[in-house]
Amino acid sequence: MVLRKASAALAAGCTMVAKPSPETPLSALTLAYLAEKAGYPKGVFNVMPTTLANTPALSEALCKHPLVKKVSFTGSTRVGKILSAHCADSLKKLTLELGGNCPFLVFDDANLEQACDDDLTKKTSSALIPLKFRHAGQACITANRVYVQRGIYDRFAALLADKTRQQIRVGHGLDKGTTMGPLTVPAGVDKVAGQVEDAKKHGGTVLTGGNRISSSEGYFFEPTIIANASGDMKVASEETFGPLLALFPFDTEEEAVKAANDTSMGLASYCFTKNVDRIWRLFENLEAGMIGLNSGNSSAAESPFGGIKDSGFGKESGKDVAINEYLITKTGTLTIEGQY
């Protein structure tokens, strides 16, 4: 995320101050070290790590400082709105990439193997299993709510659970064979556990996983799939940010689109179908800034990245689009004497 922001800012000729999450500061600090080794002048790319307790004060100071002309933030919708308020007094330009709670639609004419995509070693692996369980589900664009057409629901649920058990190995990231690591903080484990218990209370069935992994050092939770999900479960309305996905049945395309859009978020949506007319309708009707069509990949350096609704505004990445976020458009009008 730091690279996505810094590359555009530096290409536009701006200097940058990056404040990384207090939970994951090392990658940003390493980038600053590499930039210095590569010959970047001091003061061009700056990293300001701080504690969790000091984060609000530092963030407010950066947003309100008169030398800061642009703020780009990736994080929760709640914090994004706070930063937006801080920037309002000075009318600072903002790019906000906020929460996801992304839907994933599977229709009865879809290639179910393709929709699951269990081969995590392929460079093109980009469907539900790798989308959901990479970074242990801690990604804003990961699938959270999976809507499966009723005619294939049981078959898809069984296939997905079986492939997840086969392919996902939880452990230390440096251990051979590990395909999913830990969550970042204990609160992440607690949230997943709470959503699982809530789903079971509302009639959900755990197809695989559902438990903390207490025998390991670290914040581990089993990759978990919940069947018979319904709209009154927390997982239907709260972004999980962990290795849990819920399967919701639907009958018609209209029903699926309505359920997918029934959220304040609008970062990314995904759909799998072999009907090209339906693909085009879904591309137009799903309320999200990025749509994966027979693909779980909605991010690339050359394509604009960003959402709508409470998922934020502005774009990162993308030819011309990203750098324009750090440029000012001027109009110059000149009258030449004796010419016009």
Choose, from 87, 97, 271, 325, the residue flagged as catalytic: 97
Q: Which two tokens stand for residue 43?
A: 């003061």
Rg (CA), the chain: 22
211 phi and psi angles, rounded to 5 deg:
-130, 155
Q: Which two tokens stand for residue 254?
A: 């209209």
How far is it, in rounded angstroms, from Cα 293 to Cα 280? Answer: 9
Choose, from 63, 102, 116, 140, the residue flagged as catalytic: 140
Q: Which two tokens stand for residue 136?
A: 């242990």
- The verdict on whether 140 is a catalytic residue reads yes
Helix ranges (DSSP H) in the chain: 2-11, 26-37, 55-64, 77-88, 112-116, 128-133, 153-167, 186-201, 234-237, 253-261, 276-285, 321-324
Q: Which two tokens stand for residue 206?
A: 């755990």
Longest dimension (CA), the chain: 85
How far is it, in rounded angstroms, from Cα 322 to Cα 299? Answer: 13
- The verdict on whether 197 is a catalytic residue reads no
Active-site residues: which are they?
Answer: 97, 140
